Amino acid sequence: MSELKIYNSLHRQKEVFTSLYPGHVGMYVCGPTVSGESHLGHARPYITFDVVYRYLQFLGYKVRYVRNITDAGHFEEEGREAEDKIAKRAQLEKLEPMELVQKYTNLFHWAFHRFNCLEPSIEPTATGHIIEQIEMIKTIMEKGYAYERNGSVYFDVKKYAETHDYGILSGRVLEDMLETSNRELENQDEKINNVDFALWKNAPPEHLMRWPSPWGEGFPGWHIECSAMSSKYLGKQFDIHGGGMDLQFPHHECEIAQSEIAHGELMARYWMHNNMITINGRKMGKAYNNTIKLTELFTGNHHLLERGYSPMTIRFFVLQTHYRSTLDFSNEALQAAEKGLHRLWSAYEVLQKLTYTPANGQPVNEELDKQVRDWCNECHEFLSDDFNTAKVLANLFELAPVINSIKGGQVKMHELSEETFQLLQKTWSIFLIDILGLQPETLNTDNSKLDGVIQLLIEMRKEAKSRKDYAASDKIRNQLLAVGIQLKDEKDGSITYSIQ
């Protein structure tokens, strides 16, 4: 197996990926909270970790990829209590909570199938693992790191920090958090310190989602679900825990604390966080009126969008930037990604049609041959160095002109060795399709019927040119171009087309 390096956000440095059980990888990625439609910000982590999943499998690992569905839970932000999003949205939409959950889970699956994301090995739900969460809370209480108040249970962060490093992921200092949060203790009488987080919440009479527990009827806190589900399916310690940078604190920090107390060891060996998507340089959020739902992104039905963009264009856009870098959305960036994807896919289709012809004694162009081999081999090196999809795509862009030049005759086939040509074909198939997960854009039309119509128009254009009716010839070409179909007059007299 290839040596793999990933950026371990726990230690903030690259490490060799050697601590796995031989041949196996356990990966847990925080899934969606299905209280509403998925938006542009959700696209990045699931596309990012889909590539991680694909590449690990390509390297020969047997991967158990667990991605949860958060369909219940009490949410906390920056140490402050926040609403139960599912219960609140269910009341607004006048739906049963599980009816709302199913609605948005279905929408989530629909959107991410369109992105060509592979299904995880296991997709557990929080509501399906209430027993496991209660048992884990009981263990934490027995060890003295949680306390009950009025039917709610809280994790004692200050006690944990006496012997453990609370802030190990985010770099936050507990003393600073305590100094800030203790000024805000009003209405928080249940907690010893405001930094303490809920493991279980007592359900008030109006709360629809509730389960029996040793502390009365209630519902689980947000953080406990991931610790309970990851340990059930991946063990007390597993290999990779992933998610968005916004989950690093408090969610992942709290996961580490409660898991370490319950299980006696650090839950994940490697923590991977994708950075955020900004929109025209601003953070995405309701306050800025710039949250773009995926359905709006596909249709263009949003005030920030000039038009709709295809799922493959969005996937390509996400992969053009390294997962740890901020990604800025704009119409210009999406349109550039659309053109870039078309350019690479066109080169791929050309390459698949080419057949190697023997050199017949003609010399190989050693410089070009080596450069093509290097570009191909570097694709493996880049993905093995912290999954750098941006550099892989850059190399494919370097190779595309070589492919087009072979087709056009500017580069003769014999200038590459047969071995290098086969490597070129294999590299494009493996990286563009198998690992990056890109697909050709599809139209809402039967492709064979569309091809027949275009071929008919091509024949009509040839006949017009043969009659020297250049006005009619140009009209056919220009009207096809206006709807995104570009004709190209080849050197051998044939006419080819591409869909933009």
Residue numbers belonging to the annotated binding site for Zn(2+): 30, 226, 251, 255
| Kind and range of the H or E run holding 229 | helix 222-234
Known binding residues for ATP: 286
- Beta partners for residue 5, in sequence order: 16, 385
Tokens of 138: 């009981």
Dihedral (C-alpha) 273, 279, 282, 285: value to the nearest 10 degrees?
-80
Task: Give SS3 for 450.
Answer: helix
SS3 content of the chain, % helix, strand, coil (to 5): 50, 15, 35
Whole-angstrom distance, CA of residue 22 vs CA of residue 61: 8
Dihedral (C-alpha) 321, 324, 330, 335: value to the nearest 10 degrees?
20
Known binding residues: 30, 226, 251, 255, 286
Own/partner contacts of 335-338, CB < 8 Å, gap of 24 or more, are 337/313, 338/309, 338/310, 338/313
Tokens of 128: 């399906």
> Residue 9: what are its φ and ψ, rounded to 5°?
-70, -10
Q: Cis peptide before 440, with omega less than 30 degrees from 0?
A: no
Could you tell me if residue 361 is left (phi over 0), alpha (psi between -120 and 50 degrees) or otherwise beta? left
Q: Do 274 and 240 touch, CB atoms closer than 8 A?
A: no
Give per-residue burial for 37-76: e unless 16+ CB within 10 Å, then b. Answer: bbbbbbbbbbbbbbbbbbbbbebebebbbbbbbbbbbbbb
Q: Do 226 and 234 touch, CB atoms closer than 8 A?
A: no
Q: What are the helix (H) ranges across 268-411?
A: 294-299, 311-319, 331-353, 366-384, 389-408
